């Protein structure tokens, strides 16, 4: 409830320091200090609570099974996306680091769009369950190789080639998600054109 343990720990530490400061340094009455510290603790628990999936989204118009499906996919995909972002910062080769960062950015964009529209999750299921975790695994492997004292250039080249190809897969799935969001656009345009032709003759 109200996030992970870290928000409780931080809130507790801040409140304890505040209680000690108010009681012994500023000589506030102890009972008043306790009340203030308790209010600060309660507020920080809520403020520091990590953001929840689909927070702020009206789920009443979306089927429960579709939301559950999207939630499960995103819960599995987010750690892999976080690993990609972290790995990009550890790769010494700037060009390859930029490629891994690009994979991380695309993954974050896809996750954000699925969260905003849970019913689109099936269009990127394979991306979230296969390509994203595999990209994290391969990128971490590249980083481990690159940070050796005497890395094998042949192995780096082979792994780097896979990362380059993964960029194409990431772009493909990001675009397929965009296509699914524009699924009715062509139909809408045709209907508008027909209506305009009937109403104004062109």
- Whether 170 and 103 have beta carbons less than 8 Å apart is answered as yes
Q: What pLDDT tens digit does each residue of the chain (202 aa) get?
A: 334 556 567 767 777 777 777 777 676 677 767 777 777 777 765 555 555 554 554 555 555 677 788 889 999 999 999 999 999 999 999 999 999 999 999 999 999 999 888 888 888 999 999 999 999 999 999 999 999 999 899 999 999 999 999 999 999 999 888 766 666 666 677 778 888 887 776 6
Give residues with Cβ within 8 angstroms of 7, minimum separation 6: 44, 45, 47, 48, 49, 50
pTM for this entry = 0.66
């Amino acid at each position: 409830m109200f996030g992970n343990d870290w928000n409780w720990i931080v809130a507790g530490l801040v409140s304890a320091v505040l209680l000690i400061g108010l009681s012994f340094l500023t000589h506030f009455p102890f009972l008043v200090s306790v009340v203030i510290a308790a209010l600060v603790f309660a507020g920080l628990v809520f403020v520091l609570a990590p953001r929840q999936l689909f927070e702020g989204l009206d789920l009443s118009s979306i089927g429960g099974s579709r939301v559950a499906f999207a939630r499960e996919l995103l819960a599995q995909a987010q750690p892999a996306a976080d690993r990609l972002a972290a790995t990009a910062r550890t790769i010494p080769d700037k060009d390859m680091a930029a490629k891994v960062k690009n994979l991380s950015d695309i993954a974050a964009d896809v996750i954000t769009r699925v969260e905003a529209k849970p019913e689109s999750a099936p269009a990127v299921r394979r991306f979230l369950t296969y390509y994203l975790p595999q990209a994290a695994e391969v990128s971490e492997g590249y980083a481990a190789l690159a940070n050796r004292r005497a890395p094998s250039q042949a192995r780096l080249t082979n792994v780097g080639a896979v990362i380059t190809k993964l960029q194409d897969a990431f772009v493909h799935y990001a675009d397929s998600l965009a296509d699914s969001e524009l699924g009715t656009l062509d139909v809408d345009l045709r209907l508008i054109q027909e209506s305009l032709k009937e109403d104004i003759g062109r």
